[in-house]
Amino acid sequence: MTTAPAPQIVDSHCHLDFPDFAGELPQVIECARAAGVTRMVTICTRLALEPQVRAIAEAYEGVFYAAGVHPMRAGEDPMATVEQLVGFAAHPKFVGIGETGLDYHYTAETKDQQQESLRIHIEAARQTKLPLIIHARSADEDMARILAEEHRAGAYACVMHCFSSSAELGRAALDLGFYLSMSGITAFPKSAELREIFAAAPLDRVLLETDSPYLAPPPHRGKRNEPAYTAHTAAKGAEVFGLSLEEFAAATSANFDRLFWKAAETGA
């Protein structure tokens, strides 16, 4: 009797360059593949580290990368330029702009720099036609306003990564044609309200991610997260949408291919 292969799942946002994975990347990626997570996007959060993140994508089949300045770094790292971000897009495995966004929870004192940085990243997303990857925390009003203002100035594609904000911000993003990404937070026992937000979202606008090494879903909560655990979030997402795991994995993978079109075209 043969065992059916695991459904193919995409981890649309992880941080494989972080020290948590040092010396273990081959095993981590092999575990992901064994769990059905065949593609991953590793995210560079500081442009000075772009070469090492790029090298990870180059070294592994099915691993792609994106780069930007994380909003919590906007007050201390050099401001990115549109030209710099657009230049990265020449690489065949560079598939997204960011993460960027607004985070007033820890770094509200740099909100002006964060907003300037966000607008620079949006322009790079417009020019490259690559999806913008947004981090939003404790800044819902400004985030909704800037995303809408910029969209009126010129359309761009976007995913609200690790979405755990208000229903209002979720609806504002969906109304602009953007995507919401489901992380391990969705599987936390106390995340019923967040599950309701996703349940009300169109299925064709939902992605999966880990944000590893952070936010491991049950049964690994409190431990290092890794791309393989996207499978646990996928199982919870399937439950939220009333689908089989196979159906939900197929739907979210198709969504990834639509938004991260360059990864779908490159394939390797």
Q: Is 135 annotated as a binding residue?
A: yes
Convert the pLDDT of each residue in 174-230 to its tens digit: 999 999 999 999 999 999 999 999 999 999 999 999 999 999 999 999 999 999 999
CA atoms within 13 A on the CB side of 16: 32
**What fold is seen in the domain 9-262?**
TIM Barrel (3.20.20)
Domain ranges of the chain: 9-262
Q: Any binding-site annotation on 105?
A: no
pTM, 2 dp: 0.96
Residue 151 is labelled as binding a ligand: no
Residues of the chain with pLDDT under 70: 1-5, 268
Helix axes 111-128, 140-153, angle to 10 degrees: 30
220 annotated ligand-binding residue = no
Is 24 annotated for ligand binding? Answer: no
Share of the chain above pLDDT 90, in %: 96
Sheet with 94-103, strands from edge to edge, namely 9-14, 37-44, 63-67, 94-103, 132-137, 158-160, 179-182, 206-208
